[in-house]
């Protein structure tokens, strides 16, 4: 099987984000493989164990520095990588077009894994756009995945313990959620091996893409800080419980 | 005149409060407001939608068979066709559990720009405000295109009545070609009554302080009494005390309840990423130096194994 995994190079969630010129972030922070994409790569690797002749190709749109993130995906099991280079910040309509074009140029996908969202722009939509461009079925927030009798069987999580199980014809696009698997830390030999794997670099300008008619453009960024002024609830536990109920009733007005 | 469509979510055959909030948001422009209803329309639903300003209630005519009606690919196909047939300029949907699997599908089918998890929208200028970078940044995003789509964070806007006399319209549903994805089974959880995390008015969440999965029943019992949804910190889901679907935080759900009660949760940056937009935060923690104690509205320093049973008893 040709297994493609779409990955993104994102700032570490623990990094302090500084905003420059009210429009962009200071990129001098640690970047890494988007956490949900780790689940996507891990699932691709376990699928390859079941279908031994498979090849896993990690595809990434990003700045040249994103090579590091492709190497991380390789240490987790990707066989080779494709980096489409750009210094632009692309919206998801453009990103999906680029990833679609890069995959079409490379080969014939049997399955495409992505993360359910990226932790930087939190758009939650690129997987659906890739699916629409290929005309492949898509599911998102996958928590269980298998292939039986030529179909993907995927269970997806909604909130509150609700799940939906789908049968998808192949090829298909699967957006990985956290419940799907537990990504392992790559071993040192894995990391060394990853350094020798091949990454093909393409300039975004060299891919033929039909631009979307619409666009999403960031016009301002501001730090999200909500200063709260804590008040202490005192007394014994019965008093404290009573006061919590009063606050919920009279101040938050969420209890009748 | 511009036309806006609002994807209506229902629960127990009633319009969800969070859907009514979307109507109030959409009504900030002078567009004609269409309610797009996927789960059947009756007079009570029409009346309710009219009360908040809908002028046309559109029944998308999906069959009642749940295998078809609950399939998000089928729902998205019907919604996208309606948007095209009605020549909508703007589509609003919820960034709820179901909405996250519907709204982006509609955007992909229409090849239209979308901002999910909007905290606010200017429907005239097509600028949406959303949080990014694990809740550390507010981004204002400008959409352009023939159709633009906004996924609204539940509870971002409280509904305000604005009575209109809606007309009803039915769309013919013709079995769309989505046979490449079939819904084969669905599970609504042991407790179908548990309020959806992203849409709840009150969330009570537990963390490391609960110590084990048995103790987590205290949170569930309290939630039942409060009619609240249950949330959890990353530690609680990683330890397997509750499923991942309960996690609030940067890698879990982003929520904006009117009240968030954090029990035995220290309040990491990653946890705050998921709940910092809550209307009110009440922290119950043994450790007065826990980060959450300095960034909440009320804190109770004490033993949650004493306070929670008291709360349950008094409610």
Query: pLDDT tens, A90-104?
Result: 999 999 999 999 999
Number of domains in chain A: 2
pLDDT at B308: 96
Which pLDDT does position B271 carry in this prediction? 93
Q: For B159-170, what is the mean pLDDT?
A: 96
Q: Which DSSP string do the residues of B144-187 spell out, in sequence order?
A: ESSSEEEEEPTTSS---------EEEE------S-TTEEEEEEE
The residues of chain B that CATH labels 3.40.50.1220 are 197-314
Same domain, A173 and A237: no
- Interface predicted TM-score of the whole assembly (ipTM), two decimals: 0.93
Asked if the B3-170 domain carries CATH number 3.40.50.620, the reply is yes
Residue A222's pLDDT is 96
Q: What's this model's pTM, rounded to 2 decimal places?
A: 0.90
- B131 in contact with A, Cβ within 8 Å: yes
What are the tens digits of pLDDT across the range A153-174? Answer: 999 988 667 899 999 999 999 9
Chain B contacts of A165, Cβ < 8 Å?
183-186
pLDDT, tens digit, 9 for 90 and up, residues B12-41: 889 999 999 999 999 999 999 999 999 999
In this prediction, residue A160 carries a pLDDT of: 62
A133 and A237 assigned to the same domain: no
Q: Could you tell me if residue A252 is inside a domain?
A: yes
Q: Is residue A179 situated within a structural domain? A: yes
Intervals of CATH 3.40.50.620 along chain B: 3-170
Tell me the pLDDT band of B250, cut-offs 50, 70 and 90: confident
Closest residue of A to B305, CA-based?
Answer: A237
The residue-averaged pLDDT of B226-255 equals 90
Tell me what percent of the residues of chain B surpass a pLDDT of 70: 97
The torsion angles phi and psi of B212, rounded to 5 degrees, stand at -160, 175
Task: Give domain status of residue A216, yes or no.
Answer: no
Cis peptide leading into residue A218 (ω within 30°): no
**Residue closest to B115 by CA, chosen among A212, A124, A11:** A124
Least confident stretch, A13-17, A55-59, B205-209, B265-269: A13-17
Q: Is A219 inside any structural domain? A: no
- Report yes or no on A22 lying in a domain: yes
- Per the CB < 8 Å rule, is A158 touching B101? yes
Please give the pLDDT value at position B194. 55
Q: Which of B72, B75, B180 is the best mutation test for A, with the most CBs of A within 10 A?
A: B180
Which residue in B has a C-alpha nearest to residue A163's C-alpha? B187
Same domain, A190 and A239: no
Domain range holding A246?
Answer: 226-256
Tell me what percent of the residues of chain A surpass a pLDDT of 90. Answer: 91
In chain A, pLDDT over 70 holds for what percent of residues? 99
Q: Do A212 and B111 touch (CB under 8 A)?
A: yes
Q: Looking at beta carbons, which residues of chain B come within 8 Å of A252? A: 202, 258-259, 279-280
Average pLDDT over every residue of A131-138:
97
Candidates B69, B89, B132: best to mutate against A (most CBs of A within 10 A) is B132
Q: Is there a contact between B35 and B76 (Cβ–Cβ < 8 Å)?
A: no
CATH superfamily, region B197-314: TPP-binding domain (3.40.50.1220)
Instruction: Identify the pLDDT of residue B179.
Output: 78
Same domain, A87 and A199: yes
Q: Is the pLDDT of residue B81 over 50?
A: yes
Lowest mean pLDDT among A102-111, B130-139, B169-178: B169-178
Residue A215 lies inside a defined structural domain of this protein: no
Q: Which of A91, A224, A236, A255 to mutate to test the interface with B (most CBs of B within 10 A)?
A: A224
Q: What is the pLDDT confidence band of residue B193, given thresholds at 50, 70 and 90? A: very low
Minimal C-alpha gap between A255 and chain B (Å): 7
Give which of B74, B181, B192 to mutate to test A binding, by max A Cβ within 10 Å. B181
Q: Are residues A157 and A231 in the same domain?
A: no
According to DSSP, the β-strands at A19-20 and A24-25 are: antiparallel
The pLDDT of residue B191 is 53
Is the same domain home to A139 and A231?
no
DSSP E strand boundaries for chain B: 3-8, 10-11, 14-15, 32-37, 56-59, 90-94, 114-122, 127-132, 137-144, 148-152, 167-170, 181-187, 202-206, 229-232, 259-263, 280-285, 298-301
Alpha-carbon span A25 to A16, nearest angstrom: 10
User: Same structural domain for residues A255 and A165?
Assistant: no
Are the Cβ atoms of A223 and B138 closer than 8 angstroms? yes
Nearest to A159 among B107, B191, B196 (CB): B196
According to the model, what pLDDT value does residue A179 have? Answer: 87
Shared-domain flag, residues A136 and A252: no
Considering the domain architecture, whether residues A82 and A197 belong to the same structural domain is answered as yes
What pLDDT is stored for residue B15 in this prediction? Answer: 96
Q: Are residues A199 and A237 in the same domain?
A: no
pLDDT surpasses 90 at A213: yes
pLDDT greater than 80 at residue B134: yes
In a domain, A172, yes or no: yes
Q: Min CA distance, A250 vs chain B (Å)?
A: 12
Q: What percent of chain B stands above pLDDT 90? A: 83
Asked if the C-beta of B130 comes within 8 angstroms of chain A's C-beta atoms, the answer is yes
- In chain B, which residue's Cα lies nearest the Cα of A218? B141
pLDDT per position as a tens digit, A73-92: 999 999 999 999 999 999 99
**A184 and A233 housed in the same domain:** no
* Residue B190: band (very low, low, confident or very high) from pLDDT cuts 50, 70, 90: low
Residue B14's DSSP bridge partners are B11
């Amino acid at each position: 099987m040709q297994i493609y995994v779409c990955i993104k190079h994102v700032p570490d969630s623990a990094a302090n984000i500084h905003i420059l010129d009210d429009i962009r972030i200071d990129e001098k922070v640690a970047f890494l493989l988007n956490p949900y994409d780790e689940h996507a790569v891990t699932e691709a690797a376990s699928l390859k164990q079941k279908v031994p002749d498979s090849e896993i190709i990690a595809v990434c749109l990003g700045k040249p520095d994103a090579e590091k993130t492709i190497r991380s995906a390789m240490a987790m099991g990707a066989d080779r990588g494709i980096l489409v280079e750009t210094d632009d910040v692309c919206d998801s309509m453009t990103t999906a077009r680029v990833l679609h074009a890069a995959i079409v140029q490379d080969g014939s996908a049997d399955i495409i894994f992505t993360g359910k969202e990226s932790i930087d722009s939190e758009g939650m939509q690129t997987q659906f756009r890739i699916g629409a461009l290929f005309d492949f079925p898509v599911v998102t927030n996958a928590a269980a995945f298998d292939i039986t009798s030529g179909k993907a069987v995927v269970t997806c999580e909604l909130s509150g313990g609700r799940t939906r199980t789908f049968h998808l014809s192949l090829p298909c696009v699967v957006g990985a959620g956290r419940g799907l698997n537990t990504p392992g830390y790559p071993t040192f030999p894995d990391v060394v091996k990853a350094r020798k794997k091949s990454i093909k670099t393409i300039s975004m300008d060299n891919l033929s893409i039909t631009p979307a008619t619409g666009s999403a453009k960031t016009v301002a960024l501001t730090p999200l800080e909500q200063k709260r002024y804590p008040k202490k609830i005192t007394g014994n536990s019965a008093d404290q419980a009573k006061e919590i109920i009063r606050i919920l009733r009279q101040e938050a007005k969420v209890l009748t | 005149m511009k036309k806006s469509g609002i994807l209506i979510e229902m629960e127990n055959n009633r319009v969800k409060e969070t859907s009514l909030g979307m109507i109030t948001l959409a009504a900030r422009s002078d567009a004609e407001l269409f309610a797009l209803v996927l789960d059947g329309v009756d007079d009570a639903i029409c009346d309710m939608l009219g009360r908040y300003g809908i002028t046309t209630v559109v029944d998308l005519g999906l069959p009642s068979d749940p295998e078809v009606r609950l399939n998000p690919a089928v729902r998205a196909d019907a919604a996208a066709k309606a948007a095209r047939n009605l020549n909508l300029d703007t589509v609003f949907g919820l960034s709820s559990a179901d909405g996250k699997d519907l709204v982006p599908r509609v955007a992909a089918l229409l090849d239209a720009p979308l901002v999910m998890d909007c905290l606010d929208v200017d429907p005239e200028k097509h600028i949406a405000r959303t949080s990014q970078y694990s809740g550390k940044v507010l981004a204002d995003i400008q959409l352009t295109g023939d159709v633009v789509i906004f996924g609204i964070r539940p509870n971002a806007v409280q509904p305000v009545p604005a009575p209109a006399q809606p007309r009803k319209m039915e769309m013919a549903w013709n079995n769309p070609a989505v046979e490449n994805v079939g819904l084969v089974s669905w599970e609504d959880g042991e407790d179908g009554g548990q309020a959806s995390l992203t849409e709840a008015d009150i969330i009570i969440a537990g963390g490391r302080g609960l110590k084990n999965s048995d103790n987590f029943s205290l949170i569930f019992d309290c939630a039942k009494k409060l009619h609240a949804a249950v949330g959890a910190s990353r530690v609680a889901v990683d330890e397997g005390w509750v499923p991942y679907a309960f996690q609030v935080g940067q890698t879990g759900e982003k929520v904006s309840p009117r009240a968030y009660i954090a029990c035995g949760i220290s309040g990491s940056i990653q946890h705050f990423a998921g709940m910092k937009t809550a209307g009110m935060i009440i922290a119950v923690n043994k450790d007065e130096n826990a980060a959450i104690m300095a960034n909440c509205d009320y804190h109770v320093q004490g033993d949650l194994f004493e306070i929670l049973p008291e709360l349950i008893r008094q409610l």
